[in-house]
Amino acid sequence: AQSVTQLGSHVSVSEGALVLLRCNYSSSVPPYLFWYVQYPNQGLQLLLKYTSAATLVKGINGFEAEFKKSETSFHLTKPSAHMSDAAEYFCAVSDPTGFQKLVFGTGTRLLVSP
Amino acid sequence: KAGVTQTPRYLIKTRGQQVTLSCSPISGHRSVSWYQQTPGQGLQFLFEYFSETQRNKGNFPGRFSGRQFSNSRSEMNVSTLELGDSALYLCASSLDRAETGNTIYFGEGSWLTVV
């Protein structure tokens, strides 16, 4: 079965610092991987997705993620954090039995201090 | 174009009652799926509908059900509500082009509180 592990339920950074949110996946087949962001009292917004076209994926708001098959990882990064990046971030993998079925990680709350 | 629309946004129900939540997908999207989000269990897949047929189902009791109409709009129903059903219920839609790892778009969610 597919699964996703997000290391760190909370990550704190200073404004302007590098953001690194970790995601490791388990999949029996080549996966489709996603990062979503959730702001308070809102739904999920897609940041980026990996669909095997390129290992380095660029998303919205300056985020990017690199797919590393050897490490089964899909970590999310942003060179310089902004206060507006404070939110909860979810990594997800498509279930091969149904591509509309996502298996989510437990989420990482990003805190950005001035 | 309009995103995924969910109604109502907030509702409070009493234990034992039933509730119906509604979802309008993005125009042209034929796949609609539902997720439950709670602090304890995180985001969990409930079910997915395509062309009025349930294609996938998560590990939830039979009290949770859904349906999809010919215009792709979907409803989910929870009967005999329990306190543990308090959650954010998210609806998502997609084009259903699996070979491209289609993007799944989420609505703002319906906040259900059971008292």
Give B106→chain A minimum CA distance, Å.
6
> B28: burial class by Cβ within 10 Å (0-12, 13-18, 19+)?
exposed
CB contact under 8 A, B100 and A104: no
Specify the higher pLDDT residue, B7 or B102: B7
Least confident of A23-32, A41-50, A59-68: A23-32
Q: Residue B114 — pLDDT band, cuts 50, 70, 90?
A: very high
- Picking from B83, B68, B89, the residue whose alpha carbon sits closest to that of residue B114 is B83
**Which residue in the set B96, B103, B107 is minimally distant from A43, CB to CB?**
B107
Phi, psi angle pair for B62, to nearest 5°: -65, -10
List of chain B residues whose C-beta atoms are within 8 Å of the C-beta of residue A104: 42-44
Tokens of A6: 């997000």
Q: What is the mean pLDDT of residues B92-114?
A: 84
User: What whole-number distance in Å separates Cα of residue B65 and Cα of residue B63?
Assistant: 6
- Picking from B112, B113, B114, the residue whose alpha carbon sits closest to that of residue B6 is B112
Q: Residue B101 — pLDDT band, cuts 50, 70, 90?
A: low
For B37, the 3-state DSSP assignment is strand
For residue B115, what pLDDT is reported? 97
Q: Residue A35 — pLDDT band, cuts 50, 70, 90?
A: very high
List of chain B residues whose C-beta atoms are within 8 Å of the C-beta of residue A92: 43
